[in-house]
Amino acid sequence: MDLQYAFELIGTFVFAISGALAIREKEHDLFGAGFTGFITAIGGGTLRDILLDAYPLVWIGDIHVLYAILAGILAAFVFPNLLSKLRRTFFLFDTIGIGFFTVLGVEKALSLGVRPEIAAIMGMFSAVMGGVIRDTLTNEIPILFRKEIYASACLVGAIFYATMEYLGLERNYNLLISMSLIIAIRLIAMKYKLSLPRLD
């Protein structure tokens, strides 16, 4: 459990960095970058918890989450060039991050007593809606709507986790397998440039 908590803080830290750097090519100032890092890091979990009436929100109830975000923003401010060059590393971190937060989101929703179908949606929301809100605020088309296997990988992993949990698979195995599934789908889709068809 302590290890998991450490990963949650690290994941939040990484999301804040990538959020702050996401608007680097734009006309935004440091404050805008910090705000974007903040929204990216908290958006998904916040939306999930508001939809599920699960208060206090994680970052409001646990100040360490806010500190992890501020540390991420600070890192982006101090080492923007260094961190921007680590694009491949970040892609990997982000992929691990969405896998991790998807599965934790499903678990939290299930623990609040909602049905598995709803929990799967909440898991996907946890992972991707921070980026969606960030993109909406900064007038970008959210990645979710672009032709890329991203949120759909999270949804597949979330459905898998909820199903396995229902079937009684031991929690830690389930967590690792479901995360790996999300990560594998995303990496394979990137490597072979796979995408879902359009609606027509």
Name the site residues for a copy of itself (rule: CB under 8 A): 20-21, 23-24, 26-33, 35-36, 46, 50-53, 55-57, 59-60, 63, 66, 76-77, 80, 114-115, 117-118, 132, 136-142, 144-147, 151-152, 155, 195-200
In the bound state with a copy of itself, the residue whose beta carbon lies nearer, of 23 and 103, is 23
Q: Output DSSP code: residue 143.
A: G
Question: Minimum Å distance from CB 138 to a copy of itself?
Answer: 6
In the bound state with a copy of itself, the residue whose beta carbon lies nearer, of 20 and 98, is 20
Question: Minimum Å distance from CB 142 to a copy of itself?
Answer: 6
In the bound state with a copy of itself, the residue whose beta carbon lies nearer, of 4 and 195, is 195
Alpha-carbon distance 66 to 47, whole Å?
16
Contact criterion met (CB below 8 Å) for 123 and 158: yes
Q: Concatenate the DSSP letters of all residues of 154-194 into one string.
A: HHHHHHHHHHHHHHT--HHHHHHHHHHHHHHHHHHHHHTT-
In the bound state with a copy of itself, the residue whose beta carbon lies nearer, of 22 and 175, is 22
Crossing angle of helices 116-137 and 151-167, in 10° steps, is 160
